[in-house]
Amino acid sequence: AERPFVPAVVVGSGYGSAATALRLGEAGVSTLVLEMGRLWDRAGEDGAIFCSMLQPDHRAMWFKARTEAPLSSLLWMDLVNRDIKPFAGVLDRVHHGDMSVYVGRGVGGGSLVNGGMAVTPRRGYFEEVLPRVDAGEMYGRFFPLANRMLGVNTVDRTWFEECESYRYARVSRGHAQRAGLRTTFVPNVYDFGYMRREERGEVPKSALSSEVIYGNNHGKRSLDRSYLPAAVGTGNVTIQSLHRVRSFRQEPDGTYVLTVERIDELGNMLGTTEIGCRWLFLGAGSMGTTELLLRARETGVLPRLDDSVGHGWGTNGNVMLGRALHSWDRTGSVQSGMPALGIDNWDDPVHPVFAEIAPLPAGLELLTSLSLAITRNPERGSFSYDPAADAARLHWSASQGKPSVEAAKALFDPINRANGTVYRHDLFGDSRAFEDRFTYHPLGGCVLGEATDDFGRVRGYRNLYVTDGSLIPGSTGVNPFVTITALAERNIDRVLSEDF
């Protein structure tokens, strides 16, 4: 039988993929998007598309028998996680020895599960991280474009100061200010107008009903409500969900052939198909794209791939911590799941930190201030290919998290001192105060200008591109999706004008 052939294939449907697919579609290029997760458009028996964080069920996680939430315990008790039925759920936690990586699964990738924080990085730091990218063009054109397309908005300051749902953020801001630190409002893709109507009881609740990490039923402009419908609306883009790209090869005529596994929501293999294409865009995320390229190089299928494939991976310096507050510092039992404030100490010459003031939306007063600190950790991990498992293995040792923890400590010790507060030691399963064994922000693996040229064209092969977070060498200094989107916009703009 003839195998199907499409001009362009985009692997994955996260930020890099969605922006790329839209621009391909607008340019009239027939494009097929292949996404291993499901399309999240049908309500379950409870009338909701996504399950809530407090009552997680099979929809929560990607083929796990138990949920694996970032906070694993409360008072050292295993109260947080639940046994669930393995299913093609929306959040995955991928384990690699001392590091585990959270990723979104479904049409929309990480946008389905994330906190929506839409931060444009400091220009000076962006220039340092990606010195070969024209920052003038990025800040003049592509960052504004990405912000517009993603539907980024900011909280109304007057409402913020009086609403119940950001009491937790105001309390933490007060604590930071008492230590002489600066906080900043953080834009978000969650519709703050919708959130205000939630608080008034006018619409179904999502951010104010503890929804985040397992999906938001309302209010969040995830990619399936922004870029992806626009891409499909061009008439040239088709998305196939529950299609997992296993591998790809190049034919003598330069076209690519993908081997694609079709699964159902219970994980049953429905079959394997081959799909041919001329232009192949890899947007499977830092972990997914790096694995696909590494497998291709190490199995000898694409031997000219650069040695740097599999290198330059980082956690964006992620570290999470909680502080126990005094009884008068009530954070509130209703906490918006979408963060709106950060402690910005990135100018610190020794320990730059941007710490998001995170919610702990447990539905009851826990007198706890939770933070996700983004630090400037110079450590980098690398991947090797494990032939027995036909999988990529990330090498990141426990000690590599140290710089993240030191930086977080340098920021929060003075906050504790100024407020007479202490760290919580009961949140992460053992007695540690700083959790550096997971990241929400995997970056790198196929770094721009190393594994690819300066526009994401994979070295050694024509018409093969990387479009996602794997291009960024391990750190952005802020939450990364705006940077990933803007970079994808920039790269596809160049590729469409030169390669098509």
Catalytic residues, by residue number, are 356, 441
User: Distance (Å, rounded) from C-alpha 113 to C-alpha 119?
Assistant: 17
Nearer to ligand FDA, 25 or 359 (CB): 359
Among 56, 219, 276, 283, binds ligand FDA (CB under 6 A): 283
**Residue with the two structure tokens 């650069």:** 306
β-pair partners for 358: 370
CB of 450 to ligand FDA, least distance (A): 17
- By CB under 6 A, tell whether 309 contacts ligand FDA: no
Of 56, 109, 219, 352, the one binding ligand FDA (CB under 6 A) is 109
Q: Which residues contact 306 (CB under 8 A, 6 or more apart)?
A: 450, 451, 459, 460
d(CA 402, CA 352): 14
374 touches ligand FDA by CB under 6 A: no
Q: Kindly state the number of chain residues that form the binding site for ligand FDA, as judged by CB under 6 A.
A: 39
Give the residue with the Cβ less far from ligand FDA, 211 or 329.
211
Cα-based angle 60, 390, 401 (whole degrees, multiple of 5): 60
Looking at residues 76 to 105 of the shown chain, list those that interact with ligand FDA (rule: CB under 6 A). 102-105
- The residue within the footprint of ligand FDA, chosen from 53, 284, 309, 408 (CB under 6 A), is 284
State which of positions 132-161 bind ligand FDA (CB under 6 A). Answer: none
State the maximum Cα–Cα separation within the chain, in Å, rounded to a whole number. Answer: 72
Q: Does 441 bind ligand FDA (CB under 6 A)?
A: yes
Q: x/- contact string, 464-493, with ligand FDA (CB under 6 A)?
A: ----xx---------xxx--x---------
Q: Are 478 and 293 in contact (CB under 8 A)?
A: no
- Restricting to residues 161-220, name those near ligand FDA by CB under 6 A: 213
Q: Taking CB under 6 A as the rule, does residue 427 contact ligand FDA? A: no
Q: Is 437 a binder of ligand FDA (CB under 6 A)?
A: no
Q: Which of residues 223-242 bind ligand FDA (CB under 6 A)?
A: none
* Closer residue to ligand FDA in complex, CB, 116/332: 116
Residue carrying the six token digits 């908005």? 153
Query: Among residue numbers 5 through 34, which ones bind ligand FDA (CB under 6 A)?
Result: 11-17, 34
DSSP-based three-state secondary structure for 219:
coil
User: Does the footprint of ligand FDA cover residue 405 (CB under 6 A)?
Assistant: no
DSSP for 252-275 reads: TTS-EEEEEEEE-TT--EEEEEEE
Smallest distance, Å, CB 6 to ligand FDA? 15
Based on the number of CB atoms within 10 Å of its own CB, is 158 exposed (0-12), middle (13-18) or buried (19 or more)?
A: exposed
Residue 319 backbone phi and psi in degrees, to 5: -150, 135
> Does residue number 36 form part of the binding site for ligand FDA (CB under 6 A)?
yes
Per-residue b/e over 346-385, b at no fewer than 16 CB within 10 Å?
beeeebbbbbbbbbbbbeebbbbbbbbbbbbbebbbbbeb
Name the site residues for ligand FDA (rule: CB under 6 A).
11-17, 34-37, 102-106, 109-110, 113-117, 213, 244-245, 283-286, 288, 440-441, 468-469, 479-481, 484
